[in-house]
Amino acid sequence: MYDHLTLLSGRAHPKLAGEIAEYLGIRLASVELSNFPDGEISLKLNQNVRGRDVFIVQPTSPPVNDNLMELLILMDACRRASAERITAVIPYFGYARQDRKDSGRVPITSKLVANLINEAGADRVLAMDLHAAQIQGFFDTPVDHLYAAPILDRYFRSLNIPDKDLVVVSPDEGSIKRTLQHNNNIGGTLAIVDKRRKNALETQQANIIGGPIEGKIALLFDDMISTAGSIVGAVNVVKEHGAKEIYVGASHAVFCGPAIKSLSEAPIKEIVVTNSLPIPDQDKLSNLRTISIAPLLGEAIRRIHRNESVSHLFD
């Protein structure tokens, strides 16, 4: 079934790549990856990829620049080894927040990164939950954009929370569309945290729109948890308004800066994330649950390889 499919992994998240290979029933291709004493990346493909349909699994997660450069070098090696088609599988796309000029004399780094990936040899890109959907248009090659929402929603539905006790909360006005989709799939009522920016580094959450919250079980969703400032601020407001229990769901657990400390001190019963990027042991909270996206990515890879519909996954 997969005579011409080759699955490669960089060093960013080999565990996820291994789970995808297991789903597909194939072995990961052998790659030698190391660093020269000066930090430059050394790479050698240990098997023939000539005429193969190559998929390279490499989230550009922290350390972002190292993992991005490794992805580019992997693609260049496959192109020079005459791969027929190269698909960059990027479960988490770094630099996604720099997607526009929001002030003078700043770059649009996500477009620059898209250009680099195209120039390195990507014929397709497979990504999940880009921070801004318009990033798909930054690439000059086809982009298959997957969503973790169905996986997260399936888990929260399995908790069997009564509809009358459930409220789905948007942590800010910018997340309303995403929260509405979760609300339609899970049920319950809808509420929005009114977030105001105090300055370039701080936001302040104060009011609740919709609801009610008091005595309810609240679910808050975001696409990523980075420093956790916004989501923890929203959680605290929801708690102040009388929520009985609070759950948080997110696609990408970036967890940088004060995130772990803030999340550990917040009144959250459970934090549910995907394994789109690796979570170091020291960043694993007692109330953290990780759900694998390997079956989703594996099925998308299978469909791309066989020229079948990927959007059918969400029908």
Q: From residue 187, how far is each of 154, 169, 290 by CA, in Å? A: 12, 12, 22
Of the residues 195, 244, 261, 269, only one is catalytic, namely 195
With a CB cutoff of 8 Å and minimum separation 6, the contacts of 184 are none
Nearest to 45 by CA among 15, 21, 20, 80: 80
Are 191 and 213 a contacting pair, CB within 8 Å? Answer: yes
Percent helix, percent strand, percent coil in the chain, to nearest 5: 35, 25, 40
Are 266 and 225 a contacting pair, CB within 8 Å? Answer: no
85-90: strand order across its sheet: 5-9, 53-57, 85-90, 124-128, 143-146
Residue positions in the annotated binding site? 38-40, 97-98, 131, 172, 197, 222
Residue positions in the annotated binding site for Mg(2+)? 131, 172
Is 111 noted as a catalytic residue in this protein? Answer: no
User: What phi and psi values does residue 199 have, to the nearest 5 degrees?
Assistant: -160, -170
**Residues marked as catalytic:** 195
